[in-house]
Amino acid sequence: MDTVQKVDVILDEKIGVISPYLHGQFAEHLGELVYPGLWVGENSSIPNIRGLRKAVVDALEPLHLPVIRWPGGCFADGYHWRDGVGPRNQRPLRVNYYWGMAPEPNLFGTHEFIAFCRAIGAEPYFTGNVGSGSPQELGDWVEYCNFAGDSSFSALRHANGAAEPLGVRFWAVGNENWGCGGRMDPETYAATFARTRTFMFNYSGTNVHAIACGASGPDWAWTRRVMDYLKNKHWDRLGMMQSLAAHYYCGSAGTAIEYTPDQWLELLSKASAMEGIITGHRAVMDEFDPQRHIKLIVDEWGTWHPVEQGKPASGLYQQNTMRDACAAALTLDVFNNHADKIFMANLAQLINVLQSLLLVHEEKCIATPTYHVFDLYQPHRGAQAVRCVANAETVSDGGASAIACQEQYADGHFPGLKIVQGSASVKDGNLCVTVCNTHPTQPVELEIDVHGTNLDEAEDIRLAHDDVHAHNTFDNPNEVSLSRPERLMARDHILRVALPAASVLRVMGKLN
């Protein structure tokens, strides 16, 4: 393989403005995420801010996360919001029947979640209960949160400590209603969506952004049949839907911390196949909504490894290595390259569950390699995405990736994983290019060719480690962290960078 690999940035090919909501997160009542990840309670010996784990708030504040999805996931379609408001010592104890029959004390409910969002500066995104709830129940929750006038629900909210409306815009109408959310067929869901949505009103200046349940991975038929029903079944009801949310997980190759070079490549190939998922669903949506009034969301994505030994199977706890970091980088780059098609995305999940940003144990809280990728990619938010083409070699794992990834593409063809892949954006005259070296052992001499301008210099920050299995632990929390910024000189319009194997790079520079 040639060690010189190239990425071309074409400034006049504008894709669209990168929605800041692409960096959203997901927090479900699952395993250790809420209890004790987010919520330790006011009387805990663990430092807290009115019950919220302080170390989590402190760690997340600098990420400026745009939006958090809550309370599920599968949990949402069994959740009754009234259980989670009012005096905490009077809230009912329920069974979290999706996740290990764990006790659900309802200590963390609507107001605690809003307090958490406010503490970290994120917008709330609520998933409504459609599977076991009623249109009335979900409509009441919207009114409780958003109505400023006189009503029993606004009075109840006031009595529960919030005189002003909570201003919740994002509402999902169910979760995975093809599965844990009610085992519905697409037409049943579409009819249920329209019925439920009818009772979700815009109150007091907060317009509901209703998010319909989308497909699991490449289930194009779900998307087509839901859209078709709403558009063509007697009346055109498509306008009731503001977004459609697909889910896509990268199933593990190996375990979270043990994998071969081929398994490394297989997982990263799956991450890069997000390309096929977005392109495929957007194409179907465009057939019914050519003006693109309806937005595409991926409100669950990430890597899904076998549960760590010694942890309960239902808790979905996994470590997070350089491989997960590269998977996150590749996925965020795919989102940027489809800035015209995708509006929001939510990594699954925030703490101690699946591909988390943070891991907590007792009073300790550490940032994962994936956390550092979200930190590195912050400058892309709200920037104009421009075309970024990897003129680089394809890496191979002997064919397993092609087989694992072909179904994510509507034409059944996986184009392959390039040794370098990335994205580029411009904001306020500053160029930001992010690139992942996807190879587990091969360093490259990377050339970033910025067509259409000259650059004098740039700043280089990277996430890299000699060991592809590297991860942070409670004893060694900074094993993987971002490098210090270095100055990089450009010659004409080309930046040359030595990029280690298995690494993520960000370069930023002022355009002339």
* Sites of contact with ligand AHR (CB under 6 A): 28, 72-74, 175-176, 300, 348-349, 354
Select which of 176, 363, 445, 457 is catalytic: 176
Distance CA 37, CA 4 (A): 44
**CA-CA distances (angstroms) from residue 434 to 26, 65, 273, 321, 420?**
24, 19, 18, 19, 10
Report the candidate in 18, 114, 33, 25 with the shortest Cα–Cα distance to residue 64.
25
Alpha-helical (H) ranges within 256-342 are 261-272, 274-288, 322-337
Distance CA 268, CA 414 (A): 13
CB closer to ligand AHR out of 275 and 300: 300
Closest contact distance (angstroms) between CB of 125 and ligand AHR is 14
The one-character DSSP state at 88 is G
Closest contact distance (angstroms) between CB of 95 and ligand AHR is 16
CB closer to ligand AHR out of 176 and 375: 176
Scan for tokens 């979760």, then name that residue.
175
Closest contact distance (angstroms) between CB of 311 and ligand AHR is 15
Scan for tokens 């997160």, then name that residue.
25
DSSP element (H, E) containing 191: helix 186-197
CB closer to ligand AHR out of 175 and 423: 175
DSSP element (H, E) containing 259: none
Closest contact distance (angstroms) between CB of 179 and ligand AHR is 7
Residue whose C-beta lies closest to ligand AHR: 73
3-state secondary structure of 437: strand
Find the Cα–Cα–Cα–Cα dihedral 269, 275, 276, 282, rounded to 10°. 160
Report the candidate in 88, 1, 8, 38 with the shortest Cα–Cα distance to residue 337.
8
Q: Backbone dihedral region of 6: left (phi > 0), alpha (psi from -120 to 50 degrees) or beta?
A: beta
| CA-derived radius of gyration, the chain | 23
Closest contact distance (angstroms) between CB of 110 and ligand AHR is 19
Q: What are phi and psi of 501, to 5 degrees?
A: -60, 150
Distance CA 94, CA 108 (A): 13
Distance CA 261, CA 278 (A): 27
176 is an active site residue: yes
What's the angle, vertex CA 398, arms to CA 396 and CA 400, rounded to 5?
Answer: 100
Closest contact distance (angstroms) between CB of 181 and ligand AHR is 8
Q: What are phi and psi of 189, to 5 degrees?
A: -65, -45
Q: What are phi and psi of 59, to 5 degrees?
A: -70, -35
Closest contact distance (angstroms) between CB of 175 and ligand AHR is 5
CB closer to ligand AHR out of 265 and 277: 277
The one-character DSSP state at 36 is I
Distance CA 304, CA 320 (A): 10
CB closer to ligand AHR out of 74 and 273: 74
CB closer to ligand AHR out of 203 and 222: 222
Distance CA 173, CA 77 (A): 10
Closest contact distance (angstroms) between CB of 28 and ligand AHR is 5
CB closer to ligand AHR out of 73 and 105: 73
CB closer to ligand AHR out of 176 and 219: 176
Contact 256, 318 (CB under 8 A): yes
Closest contact distance (angstroms) between CB of 92 and ligand AHR is 22
CB closer to ligand AHR out of 248 and 414: 248
DSSP annotation string for 220-240: HHHHHHHHHHHHHSSS--GGG
300 is an active site residue: yes
Distance CA 10, CA 153 (A): 53
CB closer to ligand AHR out of 121 and 251: 251
Closest contact distance (angstroms) between CB of 407 and ligand AHR is 18
Determine if the peptide bond prior to 349 is cis (ω within 30°).
yes
Select which of 300, 407, 445, 486 is catalytic: 300
> Which residues are annotated as catalytic?
176, 300
